[in-house]
Amino acid sequence: MLEKVSRQIILSQIEIRSSVELPSNRIPLTLRTADGLELVAELALPIDKAPVATLIMLHPLPTAGGFMDSHIYRKAANRLPALADLAILRFNTRGTTSPHGTSQGSFDGGVSERFDVEAAVNYAIVNNMPNIWLVGWSFGTELALKYGPDLDVLGAILLSPPLHRTSVEELQRWNKVDKKLVALIPELDDYLKPDEAAVRFLVINEIELINVADAKHLWVGESATKTVLDEIVKITNPGSFPLPEFYQA
């Protein structure tokens, strides 16, 4: 009898792999910017409970194939509401197309995208969503670094920051605000490796740099994905760190 019960428990567990999609409440959204555009978005929430924190995901460069469905962000939406009680707000910046649809407007190199980031943060605030964080990846880190100091967020988590579009003056603005800043730097990044990042980020007094061995800019592979999601959870909901390898269905 005990053997049968044990087998049932094992069979009800879901292994956390690349394509897994765990239960969540998925809500399609339209974000409206201050300059009159409509952006395609989705909010993923825990089932039957309030989220502990809210992650606003700023995607990689759209002119190089980045969008709200880029794999780390898709997997965050598929896993973190169930595993860590986090709300995941993803959206396509202006002019960006993904399987979810196309946002109005056109790519502006990170300038008018300020309104896109503000629209996402304002949505979270108006809807009383808790503990708001920006999570930027590649181009998305530029948006987080440029505009995060002015927004009502707890801080920003940077994945593979290239520092192509952010000026020294914009980096220094983080010294004037009480917000947490953490950057995950892949050892094998194509744009900014750990040694270079240590020098470029010296102008910020309080920033945590996490160097990730063997990782690349795009965080390809389940090991890299788990590292990224674990670090995000460690920062935003440490009680759920580390993430489990199995989900009890």
Q: For residue 53, give the H/E element and its range.
A: strand 53-58
Which residue ranges form the domains of the chain, and what is each CATH number?
Answer: 20-237 (3.40.50.1820)
pLDDT of residue 140: 98
Tell me the pLDDT tens digit for each residue of 173-215: 999 999 999 999 999 999 999 999 999 999 999 999 999 999 9
Alpha-carbon distance 66 to 218, whole Å?
10
Q: Is 100:42 a contact under the CB 8 Å cutoff?
A: yes
Is-contact 90 73, C-beta < 8 A?
Answer: yes
Q: Which residue has the tokens 């740099």?
A: 209
> What pLDDT is stored for residue 151 in this prediction?
98
* pLDDT score of 7: 42
What CA–CA distance (Å, rounded) separates 244 from 249? 13
How many CA atoms does the CB half-sphere of 138 hold within 13 Å?
21
Looking at residue 220, its pLDDT comes to 96
pLDDT less than 70: residues of the chain: 1-11
112 DSSP 8-state letter: T
- Per-residue pLDDT, 11: 54
Q: Report the pLDDT value the prediction gives residue 213, as an integer from 0 to 100.
A: 97
Q: 71-84 and 222-236 are packed helices; what angle lies between their axes, rounded to 10 degrees?
A: 50
What SS3 state is found at 114?
helix
5, 76, 170, 205 from 69: Cα distances, Å: 39, 10, 28, 33
Q: How many CB atoms lie within 10 A of CB 209?
A: 16
For residue 45, give the 3-state DSSP assignment. Answer: strand
Rounded to 5 degrees, what are φ and ψ at 140? -60, -30
pTM: 0.95
